[in-house]
Amino acid sequence: MIVERLAQILDQLGAEWLLYLLLFLSITSVALVIERILFFRRNAVPVAKLQQSLLKALGDGRDEAAKVLEPYEGMEAQVALAGVEEMHRGAAATEEVMAARAAVEKLRYERFLGFLGSLGANAPFIGLLGTVIGIMGAFADLKQSMGGEVDANRTQAIMGSISEALVATAVGLIVAIPAVWAYNQLKGRIKVVQGNTAALGSIVLAHVKSTGPETQTLDSDQG
Protein backbone atom coordinates (compact mmCIF):
# COMPACT_ATOMS: atom_id res chain seq x y z
CA MET A 1 0.00 0.00 0.00
CA ILE A 2 2.71 2.40 1.01
CA VAL A 3 4.77 1.51 -2.04
CA GLU A 4 1.82 2.07 -4.35
CA ARG A 5 1.05 5.39 -2.68
CA LEU A 6 4.65 6.56 -3.06
CA ALA A 7 4.63 5.46 -6.69
CA GLN A 8 1.48 7.50 -7.30
CA ILE A 9 3.01 10.58 -5.68
CA LEU A 10 6.20 10.29 -7.74
CA ASP A 11 4.17 9.71 -10.89
CA GLN A 12 2.13 12.84 -10.18
CA LEU A 13 5.24 14.90 -9.55
CA GLY A 14 6.94 13.68 -12.70
CA ALA A 15 10.59 14.24 -13.58
CA GLU A 16 10.30 17.61 -15.28
CA TRP A 17 10.89 19.59 -12.09
CA LEU A 18 14.20 17.76 -11.61
CA LEU A 19 15.32 18.92 -15.03
CA TYR A 20 14.54 22.51 -14.06
CA LEU A 21 16.47 21.97 -10.83
CA LEU A 22 19.48 20.68 -12.75
CA LEU A 23 19.25 23.64 -15.12
CA PHE A 24 19.23 26.04 -12.18
CA LEU A 25 22.19 24.28 -10.56
CA SER A 26 24.08 24.36 -13.85
CA ILE A 27 23.57 28.11 -14.28
CA THR A 28 24.59 28.66 -10.66
CA SER A 29 27.77 26.61 -11.07
CA VAL A 30 28.76 28.52 -14.21
CA ALA A 31 28.25 31.83 -12.38
CA LEU A 32 30.36 30.65 -9.44
CA VAL A 33 33.16 29.42 -11.69
CA ILE A 34 33.25 32.78 -13.46
CA GLU A 35 33.36 34.53 -10.09
CA ARG A 36 36.28 32.36 -8.99
CA ILE A 37 38.18 32.99 -12.23
CA LEU A 38 37.77 36.74 -11.76
CA PHE A 39 38.80 36.37 -8.12
CA PHE A 40 42.05 34.64 -9.03
CA ARG A 41 42.79 37.28 -11.66
CA ARG A 42 42.22 40.11 -9.18
CA ASN A 43 44.46 38.46 -6.62
CA ALA A 44 47.22 37.37 -8.98
CA VAL A 45 50.71 38.01 -7.61
CA PRO A 46 53.90 38.10 -9.73
CA VAL A 47 55.73 35.81 -7.34
CA ALA A 48 59.10 35.62 -9.11
CA LYS A 49 59.35 39.40 -9.34
CA LEU A 50 58.06 39.87 -5.81
CA GLN A 51 60.63 37.46 -4.38
CA GLN A 52 63.49 39.54 -5.74
CA SER A 53 61.93 42.80 -4.55
CA LEU A 54 61.23 41.36 -1.11
CA LEU A 55 64.78 40.06 -0.68
CA LYS A 56 66.15 43.50 -1.44
CA ALA A 57 63.58 45.34 0.68
CA LEU A 58 64.15 43.16 3.74
CA GLY A 59 67.72 44.39 3.86
CA ASP A 60 66.40 47.95 4.10
CA GLY A 61 64.12 47.24 7.04
CA ARG A 62 60.62 46.16 7.92
CA ASP A 63 58.86 49.25 6.56
CA GLU A 64 60.43 48.91 3.13
CA ALA A 65 59.49 45.25 2.97
CA ALA A 66 55.90 46.11 3.89
CA LYS A 67 55.73 48.72 1.11
CA VAL A 68 56.72 46.06 -1.42
CA LEU A 69 53.95 43.70 -0.30
CA GLU A 70 51.06 46.06 0.46
CA PRO A 71 49.93 46.70 -3.15
CA TYR A 72 49.00 43.03 -3.63
CA GLU A 73 45.84 41.43 -2.22
CA GLY A 74 46.75 37.83 -3.05
CA MET A 75 47.43 35.18 -0.43
CA GLU A 76 51.15 35.10 -1.16
CA ALA A 77 51.67 38.79 -0.42
CA GLN A 78 49.21 39.01 2.47
CA VAL A 79 50.77 36.11 4.37
CA ALA A 80 54.27 37.48 3.84
CA LEU A 81 53.07 40.93 4.92
CA ALA A 82 51.63 39.49 8.12
CA GLY A 83 55.04 37.98 8.83
CA VAL A 84 56.91 41.17 8.02
CA GLU A 85 54.75 43.16 10.42
CA GLU A 86 55.66 40.76 13.25
CA MET A 87 59.37 40.28 12.51
CA HIS A 88 60.36 42.21 15.62
CA ARG A 89 58.77 39.50 17.78
CA GLY A 90 61.12 36.78 16.60
CA ALA A 91 61.03 33.77 14.30
CA ALA A 92 58.53 31.66 16.27
CA ALA A 93 55.95 34.44 16.51
CA THR A 94 56.46 35.39 12.87
CA GLU A 95 55.90 31.80 11.76
CA GLU A 96 52.73 31.46 13.86
CA VAL A 97 51.28 34.71 12.54
CA MET A 98 51.92 33.69 8.94
CA ALA A 99 50.33 30.28 9.54
CA ALA A 100 47.24 31.92 11.02
CA ARG A 101 46.94 34.36 8.12
CA ALA A 102 47.43 31.53 5.62
CA ALA A 103 44.52 29.64 7.20
CA VAL A 104 42.26 32.69 6.84
CA GLU A 105 43.34 33.26 3.25
CA LYS A 106 42.75 29.58 2.43
CA LEU A 107 39.09 29.96 3.40
CA ARG A 108 38.81 32.99 1.14
CA TYR A 109 40.31 31.12 -1.79
CA GLU A 110 38.20 27.99 -1.27
CA ARG A 111 34.91 29.88 -1.27
CA PHE A 112 32.18 28.09 -3.29
CA LEU A 113 34.40 25.04 -3.89
CA GLY A 114 32.24 23.00 -1.55
CA PHE A 115 29.20 23.73 -3.70
CA LEU A 116 31.00 22.73 -6.89
CA GLY A 117 32.28 19.53 -5.34
CA SER A 118 28.85 18.60 -4.00
CA LEU A 119 27.21 19.40 -7.32
CA GLY A 120 29.69 17.25 -9.21
CA ALA A 121 29.09 14.36 -6.84
CA ASN A 122 25.29 14.59 -6.63
CA ALA A 123 24.07 15.88 -10.01
CA PRO A 124 24.23 12.38 -11.58
CA PHE A 125 22.06 11.04 -8.77
CA ILE A 126 19.52 13.82 -9.28
CA GLY A 127 19.41 12.92 -12.96
CA LEU A 128 19.11 9.24 -12.10
CA LEU A 129 16.18 10.01 -9.82
CA GLY A 130 14.47 11.76 -12.71
CA THR A 131 15.09 8.71 -14.89
CA VAL A 132 13.66 6.35 -12.29
CA ILE A 133 10.55 8.50 -11.86
CA GLY A 134 10.09 8.71 -15.63
CA ILE A 135 10.46 4.96 -16.13
CA MET A 136 8.05 4.30 -13.28
CA GLY A 137 5.51 6.48 -15.05
CA ALA A 138 6.11 4.65 -18.32
CA PHE A 139 5.56 1.28 -16.67
CA ALA A 140 2.41 2.60 -15.02
CA ASP A 141 1.08 3.56 -18.45
CA LEU A 142 2.08 0.15 -19.76
CA LYS A 143 0.22 -1.54 -16.92
CA GLN A 144 -2.93 0.41 -17.70
CA SER A 145 -2.73 -0.51 -21.36
CA MET A 146 -2.42 -4.21 -20.57
CA GLY A 147 -6.13 -4.39 -19.84
CA GLY A 148 -7.11 -3.52 -23.36
CA GLU A 149 -5.69 -3.33 -26.82
CA VAL A 150 -2.24 -1.84 -27.16
CA ASP A 151 -2.18 0.17 -30.34
CA ALA A 152 0.91 1.52 -32.04
CA ASN A 153 0.33 5.04 -30.79
CA ARG A 154 0.13 3.85 -27.20
CA THR A 155 3.32 1.83 -27.54
CA GLN A 156 5.09 4.76 -29.15
CA ALA A 157 4.00 7.03 -26.31
CA ILE A 158 5.35 4.61 -23.71
CA MET A 159 8.69 4.29 -25.49
CA GLY A 160 8.82 8.06 -25.79
CA SER A 161 8.32 8.36 -22.02
CA ILE A 162 11.22 5.99 -21.39
CA SER A 163 13.41 7.94 -23.80
CA GLU A 164 12.55 11.22 -22.09
CA ALA A 165 13.29 9.65 -18.71
CA LEU A 166 16.81 8.73 -19.81
CA VAL A 167 17.40 12.36 -20.75
CA ALA A 168 17.41 13.21 -17.03
CA THR A 169 20.46 11.01 -16.44
CA ALA A 170 22.24 12.59 -19.40
CA VAL A 171 21.46 16.08 -18.10
CA GLY A 172 22.76 15.12 -14.66
CA LEU A 173 26.06 14.02 -16.18
CA ILE A 174 26.25 17.15 -18.34
CA VAL A 175 25.89 19.26 -15.20
CA ALA A 176 28.27 17.16 -13.09
CA ILE A 177 31.23 16.78 -15.45
CA PRO A 178 32.02 20.52 -15.86
CA ALA A 179 31.49 21.07 -12.13
CA VAL A 180 34.00 18.34 -11.26
CA TRP A 181 36.47 19.67 -13.83
CA ALA A 182 36.17 23.22 -12.49
CA TYR A 183 36.52 21.97 -8.91
CA ASN A 184 39.74 20.12 -9.71
CA GLN A 185 41.16 23.05 -11.67
CA LEU A 186 40.46 25.49 -8.85
CA LYS A 187 41.90 23.13 -6.24
CA GLY A 188 45.03 22.81 -8.34
CA ARG A 189 45.27 26.58 -8.64
CA ILE A 190 44.98 26.93 -4.87
CA LYS A 191 47.79 24.43 -4.34
CA VAL A 192 50.04 26.52 -6.58
CA VAL A 193 49.15 29.66 -4.63
CA GLN A 194 49.85 27.87 -1.35
CA GLY A 195 53.24 26.75 -2.65
CA ASN A 196 54.12 30.30 -3.65
CA THR A 197 52.89 31.53 -0.28
CA ALA A 198 55.17 29.10 1.51
CA ALA A 199 58.10 30.28 -0.62
CA LEU A 200 57.59 33.96 0.26
CA GLY A 201 56.97 33.09 3.88
CA SER A 202 60.23 31.17 3.99
CA ILE A 203 62.09 34.23 2.75
CA VAL A 204 60.65 36.34 5.56
CA LEU A 205 61.31 33.66 8.16
CA ALA A 206 64.87 33.09 6.98
CA HIS A 207 65.57 36.81 7.26
CA VAL A 208 64.24 36.92 10.81
CA LYS A 209 66.34 33.91 11.82
CA SER A 210 69.48 35.37 10.27
CA THR A 211 69.13 38.84 11.79
CA GLY A 212 67.24 38.17 15.00
CA PRO A 213 64.35 40.12 16.53
CA GLU A 214 66.68 42.66 18.14
CA THR A 215 67.81 43.94 14.73
CA GLN A 216 64.22 44.17 13.54
CA THR A 217 63.31 46.26 16.59
CA LEU A 218 66.18 48.64 15.97
CA ASP A 219 65.22 48.99 12.31
CA SER A 220 61.66 49.74 13.32
CA ASP A 221 62.70 52.36 15.87
CA GLN A 222 64.99 54.06 13.39
CA GLY A 223 62.12 54.14 10.85
Give the model's pLDDT for residue 217. 47
Q: What is the DSSP letter of 151?
A: -
| pLDDT class of 133 with cuts at 50, 70, 90 | confident
> Could you tell me which residue, 143 or 80, shows the higher pLDDT?
80
Query: Taking the model in full, what pTM does it have?
Result: 0.82
In degrees and rounded to multiples of 5, residue 86 shows phi and psi of: -115, 15
- The model's pLDDT over 62-121, given as tens digits with 9 standing for 90+, comes to 999 999 999 999 999 999 999 999 999 999 999 999 999 999 999 999 999 999 999 999
In degrees and rounded to multiples of 5, residue 166 shows phi and psi of: -65, -25
Q: Would you say residue 195 has pLDDT above 90?
A: yes
- Segment 7-26 shows an average pLDDT of 82
| pLDDT class of 137 with cuts at 50, 70, 90 | confident
What does each C-alpha distance from 204 to 65, 81, 140 come to in angstroms? 9, 9, 70
Query: Taken in order 155, 156, 159, 160, is the CA torsion positive or negative?
Result: negative
> Could you tell me which residue, 163 or 179, shows the higher pLDDT?
179
Q: Would you say residue 59 has pLDDT above 60?
A: yes
> Could you tell me which residue, 221 or 29, shows the higher pLDDT?
29
Helix, strand, or coil (residue 43) = coil
Give the model's pLDDT for residue 213. 63
Task: Render the burial of 207-220: b for 16+ CB within 10 Å, e for the rest.
Answer: bbeebebebbeebe
